[in-house]
Amino acid sequence: MGLKEKSSDLRRRMRNALKGGGDKAIEKQKAIGKLTARERILAIVDTKSFYEYDLFVEHAAKDFDMDKKYLPGDGVITGTGTINGHPVCIYAQDFTVAGGSLGWMHAKKITKIMDHALKLKVPLIGINDSGGARIQEGVNSLAGYGEIFFRNTLASGVIPQISVILGPCAGGAVYSPALTDFVFVVDKISKMFITGPEVIKTVIGEDISMEELGGARVHCETTGNAHFYAESEEMCFSQIKQLVSYIPWNNARKAERFPKKPPKTRQYKLDDILPSDPKHPYDVRDVIRAICDDSEFLESQELFAQNIVVGFARIDGQSVGIVANQPLVMAGVLDVDSSDKAARFIRYCDAFNIPLVTLVDLPGYLPGVDQEHAGVIRHGAKVLYAYSEATVPKITVILRKAYGGGYIAMCSHHLRADFVFAWPLAEIAVMGPEGAANIIFRKEIMSAEKPDKVREQKVEEYRAKFANPYVAAAFGYIDAVIEPDETRKMLIHALDISAEKKISMPPKKHGIPPF
Ligand code: HXC
């Protein structure tokens, strides 16, 4: 055979492999709103930037008639491409081929592209759509998962790892996404669970649908396993592209700087956002939009533990991670879930050189038997740990309340914030005036002729003395008390001046965070 014949043989082989599971299986996917694995990759990466590898990999399994089955690409597509011009390694499981199930060679393709990503120091995107371990391949499938989990862990904090759940992600398959940085899900398409409805019915007799057990909303609202929720695959891909624009390719780089843009101050006026009554709530996302470039904010875990808001924005063109208490939900308290959410995000930003901007307005940690028994001590400690070990620039603005443990935890100077600013409305104290007065003046209040009147007086006395930023400022715990409309200017300056910040921590193998 000459080159011409060899080339035509290559094209024939490629056509064969590119068919995936065939027209019928593809139609079944399309009928439920799913794109094919290749279409998904092409929709995420820049046009004409995708290069596929290992198209001709085949499984070598023999049992259960597997030796008679041709599984194109062994059910997974792997390759490299660019997003907004930046390189990425990417793989997508192909459900049309044996349900995207993971056999040994399928796993080898994934681990090979993971090794590339780690060696070349570029982000890794994994699109999951699979029935889990390929049952016919037995322990080799389990071995494949183990190899993936190990690499996910090695790559953690070195390169960004993004998981996209676009179909079933069942059994052991869930643990790779769980080990990665961000999990994207799509309504009615994503389904994630360790044991499915049938097993649950058999083992404990509970009836539940796949959607109710592990659908997109469940993982965004209830479990917190997913970070970004979309109504369609297209919307999901545009979220991925947005996220990638805020983060660096690897932990040795900084995120790309964008041209600076002013916030949309006609729409978001800081002076109008905060209500005059300190007890009234407001949406802290309006404050974020009032200080960030173009008022753009990419919120992570928007539907989970909504009493804290975390996400990415730019200030003067520079990517920042924002952590903000949300007075609109449970007065912005820290509890088990919001502590987990904040701590993980803080660690992400620290690992990838993204400065942290913290906006504080909270009455403290949430009291209650449920919280105590759910381990609020352990979970709450994660926030202290994450802020304390973070060495990126840390800038804190106390908007209103900063009481008790909440004051310390939300990136105070004591956890080595570089700058702490407070608005004139800030109240910084061990606890709120009502609680404080009831404790320290209890005897006086109880023995008074008119206890309510005395209580009111004492609350006012306490408020006048402590519920302001000046006591903390007098000790130097606040660097500057600023007018709200000076916030962006102060943040820009603080970020500029901290650009070369370098801190070395005591030598250790690693710390032991309160996981
Ligand atoms: C081999 C599989 C498979 C699997 C699906 N298929 N899952 N083949 N191993 N795990 C095959 C089916 O046989 C079928 O092949 C094709 O993929 C499409 O599957 P369907 O069932 O027809 O599709 P659908 O009705 O959409 O249902 C999808 C599903 C279901 C819900 C994912 O297939 C399912 O429940 N699969 C098993 C899920 C599971 O229990 N996985 C856990 C494995 S144990 P044909 O040839 O008919 O087209 C595990 C532990 C790992 O993962 C632990 C690591 C730590």
Ligand 1 centroid from CA 131, angstroms: 4
What residue owns the CA closest to ligand 1's atom 25? 99
Nearest CA to ligand 1 atom 47: 98
Question: Can you give the residue range of the structural domain that contains 451?
Answer: 433-466
CA-nearest residue, atom 33 of ligand 1:
131
Same domain, 282 and 369: yes
Question: What's the pLDDT at 63?
Answer: 85
What is the distance in A from the centroid of ligand 1 to the CA of 74?
A: 14
Residue of 135, 139, 147 to mutate, ligand 1, most atoms within 8 A of C-beta: 135
Together in a domain, 447 and 407: no
CATH code assigned at 89: 3.90.226.10
**Overall domain count for the chain:** 3
- Our mutation pick for probing the ligand 1 site, out of 70, 71, 101, 145, counting the most ligand atoms within 8 A of Cβ, is 101
Q: In terms of domains, do 455 and 475 share one? A: no
- pLDDT for residue 435: 84
Residues 186 and 84 in one domain: yes
Of ligand 1's atoms, which has the minimum distance to the CA of residue 142? 54
Residue 506 within any structural domain of the chain = no
HEC profile for 342-404? Answer: HHHHHHHHHHCCCCEEEEEEECCECCCHHHHHCCHHHHHHHHHHHHHHCCCCEEEEEEEEEEH
Q: Residues near ligand 1 with C-beta < 6 Å?
A: 98-99, 101, 131-135, 142, 145, 168, 170-173, 196
Q: Counting atoms of ligand 1 from 1, which one is nearest the CA of 210?
A: 31
Same domain, 338 and 203: no
Distance CA 417, CA 428 (A): 16
Judgement on whether residues 329 and 440 belong to the same structural domain of the protein: no
The confidence score (pLDDT) of residue 437 equals: 85
Tell how far the Cα of 177 is from the centroid of ligand 1, in angstroms. 18
Clarify whether residues 349 and 459 are in a common domain.
no
Q: Is residue 218 part of a domain?
A: yes
For residue 176, is it within any domain? yes
Does one domain contain both 287 and 223? no
Name the residue with the closest Cα to ligand 1, atom 19: 99
Measured in Å, residue 50 CA sits from the centre of ligand 1 at 28
Q: What is the pLDDT of residues 39-94, one digit of tens each?
A: 999 999 999 999 999 999 999 888 888 888 888 999 999 999 999 999 999 999 99
Ligand 1 centroid from CA 101, angstroms: 6
Residue pair 198/240 in contact by the 8 Å Cβ criterion: no
Mean pLDDT in runs of 10 for the chain (515 residues)?
92 93 94 95 98 94 87 96 97 96 96 98 97 92 97 98 97 94 97 92 93 96 98 97 97 97 92 86 97 98 98 98 98 97 98 98 93 96 98 98 95 98 94 85 89 90 88 96 96 97 94 94
Q: Which residues pair with 165 in a beta bridge?
A: 128, 185
CB contact at 8 A, 96 and 26: yes
Model pLDDT, residue 430: 87
Whole-Å CA distances, 91 to 98, 107, 126: 17, 11, 5
Amino acid 289: pLDDT? 98
Residue 130 alpha carbon, nearest atom of ligand 1: 32
Residue identifier of the C-alpha nearest atom 32 of ligand 1: 131
Over the Cα atoms of the chain, what is R_g?
26
Pair (490, 460) in one structural domain: no
The closest residue, in CA terms, to atom 4 on ligand 1 is 134
Which class for 509: exposed (0-12), middle (13-18), buried (19 or more C-beta within 10 A)?
A: exposed
The alpha carbon of 71 and the centre of ligand 1 are apart by a number of angstroms equal to 15
Residues 459 and 406 in one domain: no
